Amino acid sequence: GDAWGIRAFANPYHGCVTGADWSAARRQSVYRWHVTDNIPFTQSFRITMENYSAKSDAARKNDYSSMAYWYQAPGGADCFETTEVAARIPQGPIVPDAVDAEAVLAREELPAGVEIVSDSLLPKEAMNHTAVRIEGAPGTTITLKVPVQEYDKYTLAPIVLDSRNNSRLVFHQAGKAIGEWVRLSPGENRIQATLEPDGKVNAPLVLVLDGVVVQSYRNLVTDWIVAAPFAGGIEDQQGPEGAEALLGATFEGRDGPVTWRRIKAEDGVVRMESLCGPGEGVLSSSCAVFSPDDRSAVALFASNVPAKVWINGEPVHHVEKPRGMKLDSDRFEVRLRRGWNQVMVKVAQAKGAGSFAFRIKDPDEELFFRAHRPGARAEMVEAPASNPAPPGPCDCNLVEVIQSTVETVLGCLCPAPCCP
């Protein structure tokens, strides 16, 4: 964007000034919007000014000031309201899923050496321009009242603006150190944050805490069986299409017969390009989840391409168009029955780089996930010798045969899998 000019717009857009060296001169940018439609405004226009994101933390901060005018045709009411000075101060960094340390600090039980400080002398900006400074011997502890909306497993990550003498924070709940995740209940949860040295120190520990990132623990499904590639799009009926995934079943694929094969997505994101190639293709994926009883559960799904999800053959979710990939973006309720349940996901990419991720909330760790249900096998179907099926769990590979046989026996003898 630039400063002057009248141009039509349908959506908010970014603009920037042009000028000489960033470090030398002041510059002025003027934006003018002409709204000719009869719009019944109920709130306001909002114009946000932001720091140039490419500047380093050590660079001199920009100093902004602004002035706005409102012109209105005769007959309208004066809707101008003065903004309080505190609201005019430029907002600090926005950290998704973060809570301000000073907002959740239990101030009634502060130890000596703990204070709320301004970020004016800190090396980094704070979210609301203030942060909690903790100074003391190893073991100095503050209490945070961390709020969440639902019972679940969460990860906690401190936002540290400054630290000295190898200082670090360790979170505890009820006297026990928190590891990869912690269970939290709706409302406020008392979490202790303790100063500890990261090595040997001979001086007081110092750390400045801006906030805590509180995110739902993402136990994404990593083990799947997949069949791909198929031709067409998400609405084309082909391949397993929600039916039970039987190992050994063969389907007519885009490039010839395909069958189920086992994959492991280490980070929980299944990427289509390695399975379908860079072009157009459809992927069917399946996994099995064991539930100790009949229950409702919350499923979370993400994809950047059109997708369909089935649970036990019943459609439960549908993504119609390509979009950005954001974990846990889709939330929906599913019914699980006692025993093994099949999850099937179908995704269709147009130009490559399609991906998806899936999980089911399980705060009490009562569910077990695996690539396929024990004993779910079809009769072997031989692929034509001229176009053999790609390798998979049903190949005459001794390791796969033994593994599948053991899984079948365990599935018949045990009410739940011995190894989740």
Domain holding 111: CATH number? 2.60.120.260
Distance of CA 57 to the CA centre of its chain: 26
Q: Indicate the residue among 181, 200, 216 that finishes a domain.
A: 216
Q: What is the pLDDT of residue 114?
A: 97
Q: Looking at the structure, do residues 231 and 140 belong to the same domain, yes or no?
A: no
- Evaluate whether 208 touches 214 at the Cβ level (below 8 Å): no
Q: Indicate the residue among 216, 246, 264 that finishes a domain.
A: 216
Q: What is the pLDDT of residue 384?
A: 30
Q: What is the pLDDT of residue 68?
A: 63
Indicate left, alpha or beta for 324 from its phi (over 0: left) and psi (-120 to 50: alpha): beta
Q: What is the pLDDT of residue 318?
A: 98
Number of neighbouring beta carbons within 10 Å of residue 131: 29
Q: What is the pLDDT of residue 419?
A: 39
Does some domain include residue 24? no
Q: Looking at the structure, do residues 157 and 184 belong to the same domain, yes or no?
A: yes
Please give the sequence-ordered ranges of beta strands (E in DSSP) within 198-278, or none if there are none: 205-216, 223-230, 250-253, 256-259, 261-264, 270-271
Q: Looking at the structure, do residues 386 and 258 belong to the same domain, yes or no?
A: yes
Please state, in angstroms and rounded to a whole number, the distance separating the CA atoms of residues 55 and 146: 32
Measure Cα distances from 22 to 15, 53, 55, 124 in Å.
16, 13, 10, 20
pLDDT tens-digit profile, the chain (420 residues): 344 444 444 444 445 544 445 455 555 555 666 666 665 655 566 666 555 544 555 555 555 556 666 666 677 777 667 777 666 666 678 899 999 999 999 999 899 999 999 998 898 889 988 999 999 999 999 999 999 999 999 999 999 999 999 999 999 999 999 999 999 999 999 999 999 998 887 789 999 999 999 999 999 999 999 999 999 999 998 888 877 778 888 899 999 999 999 999 999 999 999 899 888 999 999 999 999 999 999 999 999 999 999 999 999 999 999 999 999 999 999 999 999 999 999 999 988 789 999 999 999 999 999 998 876 665 433 323 333 333 333 333 344 444 544 444 444 444 444 433
Q: What is the pLDDT of residue 287?
A: 96
Tell me the pTM. 0.71
Query: Which among 172, 323, 403, 384 has a CA at the least distance from the CA of 392?
Result: 403
Token representation of residue 311: 């649970």
Q: Do you find a cis peptide bond into 229, omega within 30 degrees of 0?
A: yes
Indicate left, alpha or beta for 389 from its phi (over 0: left) and psi (-120 to 50: alpha): beta
Q: Looking at the structure, do residues 190 and 240 belong to the same domain, yes or no?
A: no
Name the pairing type of β-strands 176-177 and 250-253.
Answer: unpaired
Q: What is the pLDDT of residue 207?
A: 97
Does some domain include residue 72? no
Q: What is the pLDDT of residue 382?
A: 32
For residue 168, give its domain range: 98-216
Q: Looking at the structure, do residues 253 and 335 belong to the same domain, yes or no?
A: yes
Q: What is the pLDDT of residue 279?
A: 85
Query: Which among 275, 234, 272, 236 has a CA at the least distance from the CA of 258?
Result: 275
Does some domain include residue 342? yes
Q: Is 195 exposed, middle or buried (0-12, 13-18, 19+ CB in 10 A)?
A: buried
Does some domain include residue 74? no
Residues near 321 by Cβ (< 8 Å), separated by ≥ 6?
306
Number of neighbouring beta carbons within 10 Å of residue 186: 11
